[in-house]
Amino acid sequence: MYPSHLRYTKEHEWLLVSGETGTLGITDFAQKELGDIVYVELPEVGKQVSPGDTLGTIESVKAVSEVYAPVGGTVVEVNGALSDKPETVNSDPHGGGWICRLRLADPGEAERLLDASAYRELVSV
């Protein structure tokens, strides 16, 4: 359920680091908590963020949740397909439901995030 090549946060986001780029989204646990997602507010390309800054907003029928930057960087790409199909975050949270890509300020910063086994422990009841 939680692939080992991803890093995770306590805010239930994942980050895939590839060289100097990081792709991020929300975890399967998070999409289940939110329920049916009806809108994803994406960040602007070029936006600079520090860890913990707000990158966007996800609205489900019953709740609204912020997307936080797990690490610092600059937004280089957003998943525009979510504008028409926000429910992809429900159906494929760790894949097609990605939210945006960052050029990482410090690729080593991701090492401080949770690995898959630590995240699995966090979300196990």
Interface with other proteins (CB under 8 A): 32, 35-36, 38-39, 41, 57, 59-62, 64
Residue closer to other proteins (CB basis): 58 or 71 = 58
Report in angstroms how near the CB of residue 89 gets to other proteins at its nearest: 13
Q: What's the CA dihedral at 98, 103, 105, 109 to 10 degrees?
A: 40
Q: Report the C-alpha gap between 69 and 24 in whole angstroms.
A: 9
Tokens 């630590």 -> residue: 118
Report in angstroms how near the CB of residue 11 gets to other proteins at its nearest: 17
Tokens (6 digits) for 107: 């690729």
Residue closer to other proteins (CB basis): 9 or 31 = 31
Q: What's the CA dihedral at 58, 106, 50, 100 to 10 degrees?
A: -20
Residue closer to other proteins (CB basis): 64 or 111 = 64
Q: Report the C-alpha gap between 14 and 26 in whole angstroms.
A: 6
Report in angstroms how near the CB of residue 76 gets to other proteins at its nearest: 23
Report in angstroms how near the CB of residue 48 gets to other proteins at its nearest: 18
Phi first, then psi, for residue 112 (nearest 5°) are -80, -10
Residue closer to other proteins (CB basis): 32 or 112 = 32
